[in-house]
Every structure is written in C-alpha cells, then in structure tokens.
Amino acid sequence: MVRYFYTWTPLVLVATVAVLAASPYLAIVAFMIVVLGALAALAWAIVVLPYRAGRAAVHRVRAFAGSGRLAAALRAFGHAPAPAHSTVRREGVS
C-alpha cells in the first residue's frame, strides 16, 4: 500500500502533536524545545550573516580591483591609480 516511508510523515506529525497537546507538561517541554531552536537560529543569523556579508563585500571589491576597472574609474575622475606594489617609507629608519 505505502511504498515510501516519507508518505507517513503527515500522520506521524499529527499524532505527535496530538500526544503532546494531551499532556500539559509534555506540551511545555515541546514548546521549550521549539523556543530553544528558534533562539539558536536567531543567534546563528546574528553572528553568521554579517560575517558572510562582509566576506561577500571584500570578494566583490577584490574582483573589481583585479579586473582593471578600478584604475579606469580613478582615471575618469582625475585620480592617478596607486602603484601595484607600493612600499611605505618610515621616516627616521636608515
């Protein structure tokens, strides 16, 4: 009759909810597990998403600078592009 195990998933979910809702203590435990999972997902989003956004921005800047379009854009606005390998001189060092 049922060939694949995942066709039983809706029935299992409904039965689980019915059992948990029947006992107030089990319902509180299940609610706390759901809240803990939501809190973990929120903490992950707060920590990881800005990190990934920063990495993506750095990647785009490096790709733009490496394509040669940065030098052309600087020349268009009247600025000379910086040399590829510039060294900074420190004064007072012999």
DSSP labels for 30-83? Answer: HHHHHHHHHHHHHHHHHHHHHHHHHHHHHHHHHHHHHTTHHHHHHHHTT-PPPP
Token pair recorded at residue 43: 């903490």
Kindly state whether residue 81 falls inside one of the protein's structural domains.
no
pLDDT (tens digit per residue) in 52-84: 999 998 888 888 777 767 677 777 777 765 665
pLDDT at position 22 over 80: yes
Note whether 19 and 26 are within 8 A (CB).
yes
Which residue, chain included where needed, has tokens 């854009």?
73
Kindly state whether residue 71 falls inside one of the protein's structural domains.
yes
Per-residue pLDDT at 32: 92
Domain encompassing residue 54 = 5-76
- What domain count does the chain have? 1
